[in-house]
Structure 1
Amino acid sequence: MKKLYMFSLILILSCILAACSQKENSKTTETDIAEEVNEEQDHDHDDHEGHDHEEDSVELDYKKLDEAIAKVLNEIPSFSVQSEIERGTKEDLVNYFNADKMEFRLKVERVIGNQEYNSEELKAYAEYYVEENLLAIDIAKKKYNIEVTKSEVTSFIDDNVKAVVPEEKKLYANSIGVTLEELDNIFDRDIYIMDVLWSKLTPILMEKHPQAVGESEVEYMNRLTNDFYDI
């Protein structure tokens, strides 16, 4: 799978989260660009949960949100929203990445979207998602000397996430028992860490590897992604 597109796919699937406010903001991030390309891209590898892009337009029934959260929490006994909030108070970026949290997000999205799912496949995908994000952070530091700081992520959230608060976001925060501040700055911080990382990496990759004449956007993004992971 083209890994850069995997990250953007996760943001699409996490539309029930605070990330949805970015879509209503006039500012465009590198992740937004990757999402547009992703819609045209066929994955080389199995993406574990077998998504197709028709799911991006699935109507979500937020009346089922409380029911969905209760169901999913029961399915993932090792996961606790409050534990995630406590983990996020630590400085290390790694603390924001948790496969259980990603599995929770995916399953809740499926339930309120009235979609069936394979628990084992979503669990495997969630684990893969976390591994690939942490790998990207490691490569960025070792190969490009790029790191994401706490202040950069906080500024990104302040500028791109908090400006608009959709009603769905309020419902979601209330249903999982966190404040909007905790949702943006702690629970969903892994999403924004990756937004910041790719916003810093993409210009460097583009400068290092300019788009060739006749090369499509999909081909170009594939090449940039492959170069990034070619360690």
Structure 2
Amino acid sequence: MGISIFSILVVIALVFTNMRDDDLSEPIEKVTNSQVETKAVPEMTVGELKGILTDFQRDVAPQIKNDFERKLAERLYVEMKLFDESIDINRLITRATEQADFERAWLTHAKDEYGVVITDEEVDGWIERGPDAEVVESQRRYAEAKEMSVYELNHNYDRDQYMKWVVWERLIPLITERYEESSEQVLDNNRLIELYEKEVKDTL
């Protein structure tokens, strides 16, 4: 199972989770939407995105009962379509299910092991200062393809991803404190993610 909890190379402006089999973690750097926009993500029109989403709703969504798992599967499906990758629906569903289990465990571990609990107000504030403050064109197109406002896209549909950014900002000093004396490697963001994800996977 490949999981990238804070992928910067996401499908259109910080809205998808990158679930590559060969890439478990990415640097966690808070970036602006304009920085994300410069990444090499294929451009698609609203019509093309609507077509992909329609195909997902027809071919994949009916096979997934859980809302969160369906969302993760949709993100992966759109990403694979954008990059013209072949799609095995059964494998996609399996990956989305595994991803959902990991995401839940990731947040639970933050609460149970480190005592990190955040409020809705904190998440909304983070989104307002970040994604809301600098809307890029690709983000607007995706929201339109999903027939929702950019505000709804940020605060509802993509809330799970932004919530993790807020939690992670609280986790960084705690994980650093835990490992800084014993670690033989530099504790940059990549290394901190590796250490935390190993803890999470040990709970599964």
TM-score (norm 2): 0.74
Moved over 6 A (4+): none
* 5+ long unaligned stretches in structure 1: 21-33, 38-56, 81-94
Q: What is the percent sequence identity of the aligned residues?
A: 20
Number of equivalenced pairs: 180
Contact 1:133–1:194 at 8 Å: present in 2 too? no
Trace 1:11-90 onto structure 2 (pairs within 5 A): 12-13=9-10, 15-16=11-12, 18-19=14-15, 35-36=26-27, 59-63=41-45, 64-78=48-62
Alignment RMSD, CA only? 3.0
Question: For 1:35, what is the secondary structure of its paired residue?
Answer: coil
1:77 Cα deviation after fit: 3.8
Greater relative contact order, per chain length (Cα 8 Å cut-off, separation 6+): 1
**How far apart are the structure 1 equivalents of 2:165 and 2:151?**
18
Query: Structure 2 vs 1, CA of residues 143 and 229 (structure 1 numbering), >3 Å: closer, same or farther?
Result: farther
Contact 2:60 2:89 survives alignment (8 Å) = no
Cα-to-partner distance string for 1:48-78 (whole Å, 9 max, x where unaligned): xxxxxxxxx7642413212211111111343
Shift of 1:129: 1.4
Q: Is the CA contact (8 Å cut-off) linking 1:61 and 1:113 kept in structure 2? A: no
160-169 vs 221-230, greater mean Cα deviation: 221-230
Task: Report the equivalent of 1:149.
Answer: 119
TM-score of the aligned structures, taking structure 1 as reference length? 0.66
Q: Decide whether aligned partners of structure 1 residues 139 and 77 sit closer, same or farther in structure 2, where only a CA change above 3 A counts.
A: closer
Instruction: Choose the corresponding residue for 1:133, options 94, 103, 106.
Output: 103
Unpaired segments ≥5 residues, structure 2:
17-24, 29-38
Greater helix share, structure number: 1
Alpha-carbon distance, 1:164 to partner: 1.1
CA apart distance, 1:113? 2.4
The aligned runs of 1:98-109 (5 Å cut-off) are: 98-109=68-79
C-alpha displacement of 1:185: 0.6
Q: Is the 8 A contact 2:175 2:192 kept in 1?
A: no
- 1:229/1:109 CA distance change after superposition, 3 Å: closer
**Amino acid in structure 2 at the alignment position of 1:222:** E
